[in-house]
Amino acid sequence: MSTTNLKLTSDPIDVPYYKEQNNEVSLFEYAHQHHLPILIKGPTGCGKTRFIEHMAKKLNKPLYTVACHDDLTAADLVGRHLIGADGTYWQDGPLTRAVREGGICYLDEVVEARKDTTVVLHPLADNRRILPLERTGELLEAHPDFMLVVSYNPGYQNLLKGMKPSTKQRFVALRFDYPEKEVEQQILISEANVESHLAFTLVELAQALRRLEQNDLDEVVSTRLLIYAAKMMSSGMDPLEVCKSCLAEPLSDDPETIKALMDIARIYF
């Protein structure tokens, strides 16, 4: 696993800004209090990662984030023997570190990981809360503060990659979606530092573009893309150029679809 997939956050100050959509903050706190794992499903760029970063800081827990991919093995999570100057030594993976320290391990796009990872997640995600390290013969009992959080985008799933019901049923599950208008406007104002009229117009445009989803697009415009657009517009770039490069081109490769998206953008800018 490359180190870019792993991020350690442990500084207790600076809780990242997170605008709550429902009551997910208290739900997370209850789950943490009762040592229950959480599964978050939702489309890309809707705030899943930001939410976990916010909660980890709020609860003052170290956060280990792993972006899962189809080469990710159980050893990438658990750890492996490495060869050093004095021979071989064991190095904990991010999951093991979180289990030992009482941190939060966040597996982003968990359905992408190889199936052997499920084997290590199951005994951690139910009431056993144990992590067997086969290679070292250790049987780790999770620190009381350890929490497992996984996410996936239901839109990307295919039959082969879906999460098994026996895995799903070990988690408290939360569904995320793009925020309500007023919430998304607040997020744009805060994240892109734009004035409220621009935030309002961009959110209205996003709502119109999202209504196209069923017919023309695999994915709809995300809050992340709206933030990009807000930043570019507020720094003086031509609004329609911004709409094309931030809101239309990232969503489709089909010129007809881009044209249809831009026809809508022209109503607003």
**Residues in touch with ligand ADP (CB under 6 A):** 17-19, 21, 42, 44-50, 179, 187, 191, 223-224, 227
- Smallest gap from residue 224 Cβ to ligand ADP (A): 4
Least distance (Å) between residue 134 CB and ligand ADP: 31
Please, which residue, 19 or 61, has the CB nearer to ligand ADP?
19
Nearer to ligand ADP by Cβ, of 48 and 57: the residue is 48
Which residue's CB is nearer to ligand ADP, number 136 or number 207?
A: 207
Q: In which element (H, E) is residue 96 found?
A: helix 94-101
Cβ nearer to ligand ADP, comparing 140 with 147: 147
Q: Which is nearer to ligand ADP, 48 or 129 (CB)?
A: 48
**Concatenated DSSP letters for 190-243?**
HHH---HHHHHHHHHHHHHHHTTHHHH-SS---HHHHHHHHHHHHTT--HHHHI
Report which residue's Cβ sits closest to ligand ADP: 47
Classify residue 109 by its DSSP letter: T
In the complex, minimum distance from the CB of residue 199 to ligand ADP, in angstroms, rounded to a whole number: 13
Instruction: Report the alpha-carbon distance of residue 249 to residue 261 in Å, rounded.
Output: 9
From the CB of residue 2, how many other CB atoms can be counted at a distance below 10 Å? 9
CB of residue 180 to ligand ADP, shortest distance in Å: 10
Q: Least distance (Å) from ligand ADP to the CB of residue 176?
A: 7
Q: Report d(CA 179, CA 47) in Å as an integer.
A: 9
- Of the two residues 140 and 149, which places its CB atom closer to ligand ADP in the complex? 149
For residue 175, give Cα distances in angstroms to 22, 34, 43, 112, 239. Answer: 10, 20, 9, 19, 32
Closest distance of CB 95 from ligand ADP, Å: 19
Q: Give the list of residues 6+ apart from residue 257 with CB closer than 8 angstroms, or none.
A: 216, 217, 251
- Residue nearer to ligand ADP on the CB measure, 117 or 151: 151
CA separation, residue 80 to residues 95, 99, 128 (Å): 12, 16, 23
Contact residues for 138 (Cβ-Cβ < 8 A; gap 6+)? 132
Minimum distance, C-beta of residue 53 to ligand ADP, in the bound complex (Å): 8
The alpha carbon of 124 is separated from its chain's Cα centroid by a whole number of angstroms, namely 20
What SS3 state is found at 180? coil
Q: Are strands 63-67 and 6-9 parallel, antiparallel or unpaired?
A: antiparallel
